[in-house]
Amino acid sequence: MAKKGDWVRLSAVILAPGQRAPQVPEDTALVPLVQWVKGWLEEDAGIGQPARVRTRTGRLMEGILVEETPAFSHSFGSFIPELLTVQQGIKEALWRREGRP
């Protein structure tokens, strides 16, 4: 259970699939438009329950509580050995152009 004042992430459906704009691609039109927002919880709430937060800009937003203390989880992916080879080739080409050994 998240407590009032905790940093959390909410999710809210903005547009259902049938409400999407007609010009969006077909695969996009089949899913809802979902908003994700982070903020400080206004009242105690549990995961999956409706909740309200105050964002960093002071806006009050409502949605379903999906995460407590959200953190960044993205990365640049796994190591790709071929990119190391390409990088080395580029450096060697530039060095030759500059007259370096």
Residue 61: is it exposed, middle or buried by C-beta count within 10 angstroms (0-12/13-18/19+)? middle
Instruction: Please give the tally of structural domains in the chain.
Output: 1
Q: Is the pLDDT of residue 98 over 80?
A: no
Domain span at residue 14 reads: 1-71
In a domain, 94, yes or no: no
* In-domain check, residue 100: no
- The answer to whether position 57 is within a domain reads yes
The pLDDT tens digits for 20-62 are 999 999 999 999 999 999 999 999 999 999 999 999 999 999 9
pLDDT digits (tens, 9 = 90+) for 60-69: 999 999 999 9
| Rg of the Cα atoms in the chain | 23
Tell me the CATH number at 11: 2.30.30.760
Task: Answer whether residue 93 is part of any domain.
Answer: no
In a domain, 79, yes or no: no
Q: What is the pTM of this model?
A: 0.71
pLDDT of 73 higher than 90: no
